[in-house]
Structure 1
């Protein structure tokens, strides 16, 4: 059951990141003037999907608290790195972000780190 808590944490973390990127990109860049920045942020905060991204971060933290009752943090936390890989893959397919050698190497190192740290002693 503990792994479901970790999966929930990763899932809701990734959802929040993807939904925020998707919705914020619809609003354009951050304006240069302070007052325009304030209005820009207020518009973002009124967007229901952006609010769902914030809610997903809260839900992810609830799953994380449950995971902490089942695992040592030194064991569970490396699994949070899976969110990097999932966001990377989704950003390619959803936002057509470029695949670079540096990103692929970095992702491979993250996966290797997860494999090494998840091994029982």
Structure 2
């Protein structure tokens, strides 16, 4: 099996978990109260939402794949791929969550991808 599957599975589950959390929190129209105790109570309640819980499970699965990747790669080779997560979140956020698209964000996305390529290749 190609060891890069571990890195890409880490990216997939990391990004998917974050998108699920943002989508669900937006759907719930979650606003945290000012009181610390009230914040904790709201967050405890929200953790048991099936979609929110799935987001956390995806984060855990991503960690397992990352551990597998660490058995096959130097961290200096594998970790630059993780910089693709913000790029993927940006694209998915714009396409599916109605997030703001700007030329500045697009330029940053291009620099992230270029930087990842240069770091891994050279």
After superposition, the Cα gap between the structure-2 partners of 1:40 and 1:33, relative to the gap in structure 1 and judged at 3 Å, is same
TM, length-normalised to structure 2: 0.91
Q: Deviations over 1:16-52 (max 9, x none)?
A: 1001101111232212233331221122111011111
Counterpart of 1:3 in structure 2 is 4
Question: In 1, distance between residues paired with 2:5 and 2:108?
Answer: 26
Gaps of 5+ in 1: none
Q: After the TM superposition, which residues 1-121 of structure 1 pair with which residues of structure 2 at under 5 Å, given as runs?
A: 1-25=2-26, 26-120=28-122
Question: In 2, distance between residues paired with 1:60 and 1:38?
Answer: 26
How many pairs were matched up? 120
Gaps of 5+ in 2: none
Question: In 1, distance between residues paired with 2:67 and 2:40?
Answer: 33
Q: What SS is found at the alignment partner of 1:118?
A: helix
TM, length-normalised to structure 1: 0.92
Q: Deviations over 1:41-86 (max 9, x none)?
A: 1221110111111111111011011111111100110101111111
What RMSD in Å do the two structures reach over aligned CA positions? 1.2
Q: Write out the 4+ residue segments of structure 1 that deviate beyond 6 Å after TM superposition.
A: none
